[in-house]
Structure 1
């Protein structure tokens, strides 16, 4: 009997007609995900282009991926101005008909850049931020898997018109909730107050619950506007509050990273009351998880005392996200009373 010669099997995953030709724009900003060893020493620096990043990702069959090298910086060197420019590009891309947009960048500031983008972005095309905790040259580099998951999430109908997301380790996080909670772990990004809003399972987005989108903040009045200065001052045991001195002439707004539910040393109160007359001062908690209270404690330096002196409660926002809310509204010329009301959206 003659041997039977079977045709070789196609091992590629099945892609349904509805999934074919989904278009994705990848905007590369640099960061660890794009880093390789430098010629001058053992350290790494951003060298890879967006095209390099995408070329290293298996499993992108069925997607039409285009890339742009928007920045090539470590995350720590990105600025608010860079993100304003990014939002302009995102809204331009929103009108170009792409199905999803992925932003790759350094994880140092990813929770802040994603949140600021969420404040500004008005488009309907999904925007997903991702990065890597290990450089492209490291054993077990997580960049390719994170890019694939981000592309899959960004092209899912379930995340459309729901704000900006962060995808790391097959988890989908809302930009308003996500935080970097470890310096080196590949599982560094979590949403400690809420958990992830969804997961990627076999390339499919599975959302746990719908997400209500907050109203966007207007972009700065003019592209040439001088960035507003908003700083964070953290309360610590026995601190005299010396860092509060002279801020009236140096910053446009202040965030106090207070103890617990919103407490500071009582010696801080006169300085903060004076500052609150000159600028918006927001009261947040240095804990980073859980809300600032409004009326539980009544001693000097308590949350009710500070709010009575004109400070604004940040609600559940951590100090860094509260800073971005204030900076965005100040740059847009939002009246002070409206800034206070804006924080109620996060209560």
Structure 2
């Protein structure tokens, strides 16, 4: 077998975002660079001996991506991945924590999907796009990343899509995994995974744009006005509760009524830690709300919980299955309670 035949192969799907932006005639920057141009700007890529194929999939800022863009991307990746070691997605950082998790729920193959982008556009000194893209390609090509689903690589850190969050508006170290930390790092051009995911959480259906799942952040003195206004127009609801999953007592009857009609998931607005189950017993506490039919998000933050609920609604599964899925994905129940297969030992 020749050296050309054994070179690892990675497919890069470009969606736009800061990493692909250039100056506009009216001021500011906007997506403009092609996937080929992104690849051409990477110093040292040729030294890796990784064969790279590019696909110009979208040319949008991250804020303009839709659920249907991500489901179409998942299909495109699946169609092309049979003869590749992995895929890389470049996109705007505004929505990476959401698109990566949705891809993680939809992507079932052993090969990794690695999402990356940039905080500094190519017109700025110290633009981070080329380094992030190189690290993402190196991760996607590495056998260690197989069976890990969708990963986010940024600033030489490798994160699980299910955990990572954008935490700063401008810092190049914006992506953090508060619950568990990074899975690993890029060291001298090589991925080093110090932790490995032991199960996958794949959903056998694709969400659509017109399913409406809202996030309601509970605040001091909340009287339920916004909650009542939104409740008649959604198919599911995520409550970003105070502390460990608490709401004002006046909201309890509204939420109990809602939970009898649509799935209502209880998450925490804190950004780290799990919803509790039995510590507090006052009206509006986590114990009270869960007893009234709300579903705990566990360690999933509100944004991740919304993506999971949106995707689960596409399966037409009942509340019992939704609760089981959140138990496994949220880290407070055995992974085997996930309603669909999770075995990472299967596949190539």
Q: Same-fold call, TM > 0.5?
A: yes
SS at match of 1:254: strand
In the TM superposition, 1:1-347 aligns within 5 A as 21-41=7-27, 43-61=28-46, 62-95=49-82, 97-220=83-206, 227-345=210-328, 346-347=330-331
TM-score (norm. length: structure 1):
0.91
Give per-residue Cα distances to partners, 1:38-75, cap 9 Å, x unaligned: 0112x000000111100100111212111111111110
Deviation at 1:219, TM superposition (A): 2.1
SS at match of 1:29: strand
Give per-residue Cα distances to partners, 1:187-240, cap 9 Å, x unaligned: 11111121111011111111112212323101238xxx5631000000111111
SS at match of 1:205: strand
**Counterpart-to-counterpart distance in 2, 1:165 and 1:98:** 16
Give per-residue Cα distances to partners, 1:127-165, cap 9 Å, x unaligned: 100000000111100000000000000000001011110
**Counterpart-to-counterpart distance in 2, 1:94 and 1:76:** 27
Give per-residue Cα distances to partners, 1:273-320, cap 9 Å, x unaligned: 110011000000001200000111000110011111110000000000
**Counterpart-to-counterpart distance in 2, 1:226 and 1:20:** 41
CA RMSD of aligned residues (A): 1.6
TM-score (norm. length: structure 2):
0.91
Q: Give the aligned length.
A: 327
SS at match of 1:263: coil
**Counterpart-to-counterpart distance in 2, 1:335 and 1:115:** 22
Query: Are the counterparts in 1 of residues 106 and 206 from structure 2 also a CA contact under 8 Å?
Result: no
**Counterpart-to-counterpart distance in 1, 2:179 and 2:237:** 24
Judged with a 3 Å threshold, the aligned counterparts in structure 2 of structure 1 residues 17 and 205 are, in CA distance, closer, same or farther, namely farther
Query: Are the counterparts in 2 of residues 94 and 124 from structure 1 also a CA contact under 8 Å?
Result: no
SS at match of 2:38: helix
**Counterpart-to-counterpart distance in 1, 2:23 and 2:63:** 18
In the alignment, structure 1 segments of 5+ residues that lack a partner are: 1-15
Deviation at 1:19, TM superposition (A): 10
**Counterpart-to-counterpart distance in 1, 2:17 and 2:76:** 19
Correspondence for 2:335: none
